[in-house]
Structure 1
Amino acid sequence: MSKNYSDLNLIVRSLLPENQETPISFLPEDHLQTDLFFRRNHFTYPSLTNSSYWLPIVGAVHTPILFSFKDLVQMPSHTVKVVLECAGNKRNLFKPKVFGEQWEKGALSMGRWKGVSLKTLLNVTGLKHDATEVVAEGYDYGNRTDIDHTFSYMRSLPIEKALHPDTIIAYAYNDKPIPFKHGFPLRLIVPQWYAMASVKWIKQIRIINKKFHGPFQSIDYVYYPQKESDAGAYPVTYNRVNSIIQQPLNREVLDTGLHIIKGIAWTGKGTISKVELSVDHGETWIRAVIDRPYNANYEWINWSYEWEISKKGEYTLMAKATDSFNRTQPPEAMWNRKGYGYNAIDTVVIKIE
């Protein structure tokens, strides 16, 4: 495994807009330097002016306020270490195949985000009694292929999630200013939810007293279980329990002897309670060893297993995680036509020679 970040590069999925994934199999640490954090964009990068240093909070509030960047950094700060996973992570693995960015396993990353709790700002403005949702609008905008109209990227949160103390307006990543390509100067960070909720380049926060129906809320980031109709559709929100076998690599050829099988696991609600591993295509399962960091509410955990093998041949390795809500990765992911939330048991095939 690489021990030097300079050896690693993002894996390109598209250039316009720029979408690149993390080389997830080779991470030498449990959080990422900026140059290896996956990039997900719906449009080209925004052109920002000094106005981006101000954050308006308007709508169904008692006192609309324009916060300066200086105001925010002088408020009590809050830091959360969070997994951010694109809702389309592992889309490439769906069967039948679906359209969209063909992410493999690296549309997720983890790091420390520092900022101000959104709850703190909403307490200053004061919410009206009929407030139901909080809409975050980014500076990024463009045309959609399915609608002849220009849209800003906007997403809403229910009031309860917006008021959670760990939902923050971040201004720093790993103790440095947020890099431009990841949302500088301000980014919403929503732990436990897929990363579409963590709006970058925040332009304004608007409180509303009705349901938000923007295209990135009501068309995209919706589970559509049916190929030809919208029947049974429901919104993408919390991360599903998931895992990745980082080493060995799929289709890798190994010698007989002792090998370390290792990977990561994460979930939306709760924490990872166990990771099970199979080296015989799911016929039998054994418990992996979990390296559990202190208070790892929103982090992935590292797991490993020492495997000694003397018989040559092909082997299918499988990993499945279970969380504290007793949710376990299924043998097959729930197919949906936009390809969100893939979380089937992770599988790699290796050969022993």
Structure 2
Amino acid sequence: MHSPIIKPYPITRSLIPEIQEHPIHFVSAAITPEACFYLRNHFAYPRITGQSFVLSVGGEVQKPRTFQYEELLRMPSKELTVPLECAGNNRELFRPRVFGEQWGAGAISQGVWRGVALRDLLRLTGLQASAKEVVFEGHDSGRRPDLEGEFVFARSLPLGKAMHPDTLIAYALNGEPIPYKHGYPFRLIVPQWYAMASVKWLRSITVIRNHFSGPFQDIDYMYYPEKDSDTRKTPVTTIQVNSIIQQPLNRSVLDKGMHLIYGLAWTGTGWIKHVEISTDGGENWRPAVVQPASQNAYSWTFWNYTWLADQKGEYTMMSRATDSFGFVQPAAAKWNRKGYGYNAYSVVHVQVE
């Protein structure tokens, strides 16, 4: 008899709206399989109708236009390997604890996205001199517990980020049309920013002359450093340098001998330059083997370290990454009231017998 094929499955955090975590400790592929790709929704899934295949561009533009799905498919395109990380990834690790989806380490996945550069669409419509931000609305909508009325998921980008050549209106993931649950037929992809910026089920693009202040812009996805005050709040934008020990798992029992410690590192600024490993709780650090810099400017990086466990006992393993801009993963994450941007050392406790 053949042995059964054992596959990892996503971890369900919520059913309505559907929220699922990538089983990151058991998937070592450069490209996350669709079945394991994490899901973060704020509302129930939208209905896909004929209108879903039309994308309007208006506001502070010279020639407002409506783009058809087939029209975008015929335009010059580009393909980018981009990890998407939820700003709340690893929220469960903040101390003191914070409210919100209690993500573990799996609110991140990586895919190959194909689409049209947003700036190509904006050049076709032309920008008014007054243009300041670009607002993106999805087809998904619903109610929030903190506000009256119904809201569409909408976010904005400053004009500079919107005009970056790699900010995409994507229509394909891993060589196929974007799956329905990941934003079919159009999804904004914003490399190097946390994934709240990559609006799904995109229906409209509006250039505005002022600051957009929707609830998913100025209430959610803000860093609030004070527990009981909104003072010093700042917007969540660029992904912070980070790493994860995928194996061994936390609280594993290991035999004496050689063990491969391995994992991932990623950043929103530049590329991963170093990963260091400690097996004694941070007293000493040694360089891990980091895969050569990828030709894909934004992709995550694999690393590994071979450890000789020659003494019985309990050990605390840690990983920390450094990127090409000199940003170093800190020993402790900056606490904030909504639990965004956790990037403290990855910590794993093991026992050797």
Using the size of structure 1 for normalisation, the TM-score is: 0.98
2:276 matched residue in structure 1: 276
In angstroms, what is the RMSD of aligned CA positions?
Answer: 1.0
SS at match of 2:196: helix
Tell me if structure 2 keeps the 8 A contact 1:56–1:66: yes
1:308 matched residue in structure 2: 308
Tell me if structure 1 keeps the 8 A contact 2:136–2:202: yes
SS at match of 1:82: strand
1:67 matched residue in structure 2: 67
> Is 1:351 matched with 2:348?
no
| Partner Cα distance (2:163, 2:346) in 1 | 34
> Is 1:150 matched with 2:153?
no
| Partner Cα distance (2:72, 2:187) in 1 | 12
1:108 matched residue in structure 2: 108
Deviation, 1:120, is 0.4
Tell me if structure 2 keeps the 8 A contact 1:271–1:296: no
In structure 1, stretches of 5+ residues that fail to align are: none
> Is 1:188 matched with 2:188?
yes
| Partner Cα distance (1:300, 1:67) in 2 | 33
1:205 matched residue in structure 2: 205
Q: Name the % identity.
A: 54
Tell me if structure 1 keeps the 8 A contact 2:80–2:296: no
Deviation, 1:28, is 3.1
Write out aligned runs for 1:177-326 (5 A): 177-326=177-326
| Partner Cα distance (1:6, 1:292) in 2 | 30
| Partner Cα distance (1:263, 1:13) in 2 | 23
SS at match of 2:340: coil
1:124-172 deviations in Å (ceiling 9; x for gaps): 0000011000100000000000001100000000000000010000000
Q: 1:102 to 1:81 in 2, by over 3 A?
A: same
| Partner Cα distance (2:346, 2:141) in 1 | 35
2:58 matched residue in structure 1: 58
| Partner Cα distance (2:229, 2:170) in 1 | 38
Q: Give the length in aligned residue pairs.
A: 350
Q: Which amino acid aligns with 1:342?
A: Y
Deviation, 1:294, is 2.8
SS at match of 1:111: strand
Q: Which amino acid aligns with 2:208?
A: I
| Partner Cα distance (1:235, 1:336) in 2 | 12
SS at match of 2:39: coil
SS at match of 1:79: strand
Q: Which amino acid aligns with 2:241?
A: V
| Partner Cα distance (2:193, 2:303) in 1 | 22
Deviation, 1:295, is 2.0
Q: Which amino acid aligns with 1:96?
A: P
SS at match of 1:148: strand
Deviates more, 1:287-296 or 1:13-22: 287-296
| Partner Cα distance (1:137, 1:308) in 2 | 53
Deviation, 1:6, is 5.8
Deviation, 1:225, is 0.0
SS at match of 1:149: strand
| Partner Cα distance (2:177, 2:41) in 1 | 20
2:172 matched residue in structure 1: 172
Q: Which amino acid aligns with 1:77?
A: S
Using the size of structure 2 for normalisation, the TM-score is: 0.98
Deviation, 1:309, is 1.1
2:38 matched residue in structure 1: 38
| Partner Cα distance (2:120, 2:79) in 1 | 14
Deviation, 1:310, is 1.1
Q: 1:175 to 1:5 in 2, by over 3 A?
A: farther
2:14 matched residue in structure 1: 14
| Partner Cα distance (2:342, 2:164) in 1 | 26
1:78 matched residue in structure 2: 78
| Partner Cα distance (2:246, 2:72) in 1 | 38
Q: Which amino acid aligns with 1:140?
A: D
Tell me if structure 2 keeps the 8 A contact 1:134–1:207: yes
